[in-house]
Chains A and B, each alone.
Chain A
Amino acid sequence: MKLGDLTLVQLRQRLTDNDLALRTGPFVTRIHSPMPQVADGLLRLYADFPLDTGEFRDFHVRVGPPPGLRRWLRPQINFWYDGHSPFKPLPANHAFALLEWGLNWCVAGHAHHYLMLHAAVLEKNGRAVVLPGDPGAGKSTLTAALMLSGWRLLSDEITLVDRDDGLLVGLARPVSLKNASIDVIRQAFPDAVIGAPAHDTHKGTVAHVRPSADSVARVGEKARPAWVVFPRWRQGATARLSPHSRADAFLHTASHAFNYSLLGGLGFELNAALIDACECHDFEYSRLDDALRVFAELAA
């Protein structure tokens, strides 16, 4: 059964009853939430994802109002991981964004059976591109655009590297867009389904793009890494790939990874094998359609 098979009323009831287990790639998360925004966001962005009926869940989370009298004065929202809240409360209308951050936190903080790089990853014709990117570099915009033009999305935030075979494992969760990039994607892809924006978060305005049906359907297929591309958006730049040193690519991905040093020697071996298997590039761009053309040539 898929999440989209439920009506909004049914979905709300199951979220309120703590009776919804969502499978995203290798993880099953039980979500408990009385918040209407959570139900709306899930139905809009996760409709293609399967629900899990098993007896074992990887993560148990709740998004709801914190206890206390304050909820009547200024409604707030918090995230709980099995009774423990790792974040500070936020304004109540950030409920869905908080769920997304919470789900990232669940994976990044626990899934040490993978090497977890801080990078987006997409696949085309059996080959995957890893996109590390500093905040503001235009990584998520490029990720959303590639996914909406036929690349298969594995993840926009966390690249999971399998410790047994070094292949990349997908989550296919929604792509998080910030500020101006929301309108850029809306204009370039009028058919893209984008969730309700959360304004004035610590990252500015945030909205999520629904993953393509193909990305969700094939989330179980691991992908072979082929390129590491460091994107950088710069006003007026011509879209252009240029070589990036392997040694620097290694250091950059290792130092920005979620658990590189935690894995010890294994982290080194996995990251080294990944970089060895990849061509490494810098990529500057200003216009999305030029960027997409360069990537289409890359994958051809």
Chain B
Amino acid sequence: MKRVQRCQPLLDVLRDPACMAALALRDWDLLLRQAAAAGLLSRIAVQADKLGLTTGIPDVVQPHLTAARTLANKQRQAVRWEARRIAQALAGIDGPVLLLKGAAYAIADLPPAAGRLFGDIDILVPHPQLGQVEAALMLAGWHTQKQDDYDQRYYRRWMHELPPMTHIRRGTVLDVHHNLLPETARIRTQAAPILAAAQALADPPGLSIPANTDLVLHSACHLFHEGEWGHGLRDLVDLDALLRAFATEPTFWSTLLARAKLLNLGRPLYYALDCCQRWLHTPIPANAIADCPHRPPVWQRAIMRNLFDAGLGSAHRSCHGRLPKLATFALYIRGHYLRMPWHLLLPHLLHQARRRNQEQG
């Protein structure tokens, strides 16, 4: 059985939330477990509420949905609050400050925000302003976590972001990016067009989010360069929600492909479209996939599909395929391989392994 059929009933519900109304009690048992493991329980709970399905849902299931909605509301409120603090801290910075991913969806009230849970907050700033931004954030209480010189050097020399900054009182974590991908990555992209096309927000003033096409491209490039896939399906659901919403703009697909070409992000976009269509039945015009720039050669597509399918199904046992550990390991190695050339990567992995050993011993 193919994995895209195996991960049921979760996939059916993600494809068409209305089918929740017809689930048997034993399906609910598995659905709640799959959804919770994938970080999607709150999303399903919010959708059930929006569709007015809650009266038809069994009594024993209701508390779980209520709890999940409560959690999502709290997180949404916390992200809004945090965004205002960031806007305040960075009010004096020249050039746009962009919220990325979850924070962008929440503040701009985009479709993936409904019932989405958040981890860290990500922002993107112009590279020349990085020093100013870091200083302003430190003044407002964010500090890089305790890390050794190696970590500091690793981030500042090779990565596309500062080491994660933690707020001294609230404990919230902020990732400050100056590009979408590391300096050392196989694929080179550029942040300037994304900064230039940013859409300013009315509330909180001073913050922006990427243009619609760039939201899609960033989400795709983040997911398909990732080495850890615990949130893979959640991120694919983000992509699905963005694509369904933006597809109503008449020139969306052609703009998206042109933009992918310009930013050199056709490859992750191709993978995103392919996985969205197969896993979530996202309506995508055939020529958007056929004309996608930088498509992988045909022989690679089947291999990558298998690998991504394993990653997307990794959250819960009922969605695992054959050899789940081998596939997650391969994805982990791939994630690192895409980040850095071998001559940098091997010493880095050795250093990390040695450190893990020391911490355990």
Binding site for B on A (CB under 8 A): 26, 28, 54-58, 60, 82-84, 110-113, 163, 261-264, 266
Contact = CB atoms under 8 A, between A and B. Distances in A.
A263 B75 CA distance: 10
10 contacts: A54-B60, A55-B29, A56-B60, A82-B33, A110-B64, A110-B67, A111-B63, A111-B67, A112-B71, A264-B73
B67 A55 contact: no
Contacts of B68: 112
B187 interface: no
Interface string B36-76: 11000000000000000000001011011011101101100
Nearest to B62: A113
Given A56-B26, A56-B28, A113-B63, A82 B36 contact: yes
B348 to A, nearest CB: 26
Nearest to B61: A56
A111 B63 CA distance: 8
Query: What does DSSP make chain B's interface, helix, strand, loop or mixed?
Result: helix
Nearest to B60: A56
Interface in B301-340: 316-317
> Which interface residue of B29, B77, B316, B317 has the most chain A CB atoms within 10 A?
B29
Contact of A262 (B28, B63, B74, B316): B74
B33 A264 contact: no
Contacts of A163: 66
A55 B37 contact: no
Given A83-B316, A262-B71, 17 more contacts: A26-B63, A28-B60, A55-B25, A55-B29, A56-B26, A56-B28, A83-B37, A112-B67, A112-B70, A113-B63, A113-B64, A113-B66, A113-B70, A261-B74, A262-B70, A263-B74, A264-B73
Contacts of A110: 64, 67
A57 B29 contact: yes
Nearest to B74: A262
A112 B42 CA distance: 12
A56 B58 contact: yes
Contacts of B29: 55-57
A57 B74 CA distance: 26
Contacts of B28: 56
Contacts of B33: 60, 82
Contacts of B77: 264
> Which interface residue of B33, B37, B70 has the most chain A CB atoms within 10 A?
B70
A84 B25 CA distance: 23
3 nearest A-B pairs in the assembled complex, by CB-CB distance: A112-B67, A55-B26, A113-B66
Interface in B225-279: none
> Which interface residue of B61, B64, B316, B317 has the most chain A CB atoms within 10 A?
B64
A54 B61 CA distance: 13
A56 to B, nearest CB: 5
B70 A263 contact: yes
B326 to A, nearest CB: 15
Nearest to B33: A82
Contacts of B64: 58, 110, 113
Contacts of A112: 66-68, 70-71
Contacts of B61: 56
A113 B70 CA distance: 7
A250 B74 CA distance: 21
Contact of B37 (A28, A57, A84, A111): A84
A58 B66 CA distance: 13
A13 B240 CA distance: 45
Contacts of B63: 26, 111, 113
A111 B62 CA distance: 11
Nearest to B65: A113
B37 A82 contact: yes
Contacts of B74: 261-264
Contacts of A82: 33, 36-37, 316
A261 B66 CA distance: 16
A257 to B, nearest CB: 13
B190 to A, nearest CB: 39
A201 to B, nearest CB: 21
Nearest to A57: B29
Contacts of A84: 37
Nearest to B58: A56
A158 B191 CA distance: 50
A83 B317 contact: yes
A26 B63 CA distance: 10
A117 B267 CA distance: 50
B310 to A, nearest CB: 16
Contacts of A26: 63
A62 B169 CA distance: 36
A110 B64 CA distance: 8
A88 B63 CA distance: 29
Nearest to A82: B33
Contacts of B25: 54-56
A59 to B, nearest CB: 10
B139 to A, nearest CB: 26
Contacts of A113: 63-64, 66-67, 70
A163 B58 CA distance: 19
A219 B224 CA distance: 50
